[in-house]
Amino acid sequence: MTSASPLPLSRWPLLLLGSMAVSLCSCRTAKSVVEAVEVKPSSFLTHAKDLKEDRKRSPFISNWWTTDKKLLAAADRCRKIYVAPMVYDQVRPDPSLVAKVDHNSGWRKRQLPGMAKYTHDKFVEVFRKAKDPRYTVVVAPEADALTLELNLLEWGPNTYSGLIARQAVDFFTLNIGGEVMMRNTRGYMAIEGRVVEPRSHQPVFEFADKKYAQVVLIISFQDMRRKGQARFAAQQWASQLEKLLRAKPGEKVSDISPVLILNF
């Protein structure tokens, strides 16, 4: 009985590409393999303990919708939205080792106001420029305007030491090993938010989500900027929430793939 001969080394890259292509066919499959992200909401949210994942409806990791029909009806009549300034006073420490190599907590603390303002402004911009907008953005709370409140939970800026370490591993693993095995060296950001009905001052929707820098098969230009991942995440969150709030019953808002060919 003859034993099977080992595969030539030249065929391993092709097999790896094939397996990656299969995983990319399903965003959820890719997320379960590459991301496996969890986020712990804070007391900023009224229903933090009740948040759940609902990939059939929402792209966010954790969600809560009110079941109060009167509250839902009142919120549905609103056609304006006010985006409150993002708060960041309870942002969690960055525990990653690469953060201690590239910068200290003082540097990150000085950047937090600007990062919170950028995220707030991105939500305002996306809602204003929506192709089929449901809401008109107002600059102050109004009696007939929903209020979107946002909280910056976590922020781990991109680091050059992390990028160099991943690239070194990627050189031997077809630009994928470093990204998967060294996720803790990638930039990340987590936020939470709630949409509040104006008359009752009660939330109708709450969410929490966390994003790591995407796995990029060639090279990620965003990794070359310390705030690159966070700014990209802010854009995605704003776009996803705008779509979710105007989605029709049964309509799904999907998350982006955690694996890309190129990322600018």
Domain positions in the chain are 52-158+188-211+229-256
CATH top-level class of 52-158+188-211+229-256: alpha beta
Give me the pLDDT at residue 97, please. Answer: 65
Token readout for 58 is 């929402």
pLDDT digits (tens, 9 = 90+) for 65-74: 999 999 999 9
**β-strand partners of 264:** none
The predicted model scores a pTM of 0.78
pLDDT digits (tens, 9 = 90+) for 101-140: 667 678 889 999 999 999 999 999 999 999 999 999 999 9
Question: Is the separation of the CB atoms in 82 and 146 below 8 Å?
Answer: yes
Mean pLDDT of 162-176: 54
What Å distances lie between residue 92 and 37, 41, 156, 190, CA to CA?
Answer: 16, 11, 10, 10
CA dihedral 187, 237, 154, 231 (to 10 degrees): 50
CA dihedral 106, 108, 111, 113 (to 10 degrees): -90
Confidence of residue 12 (pLDDT cuts 50, 70, 90): very low
Which residue, among 56, 34, 49, 73, has the nearest Cα to 177 in the 3D structure?
34
Give me the pLDDT at residue 33, please. Answer: 39
Give me the pLDDT at residue 31, please. Answer: 46
84-98, 142-156, 181-195: least confidently modelled range: 181-195
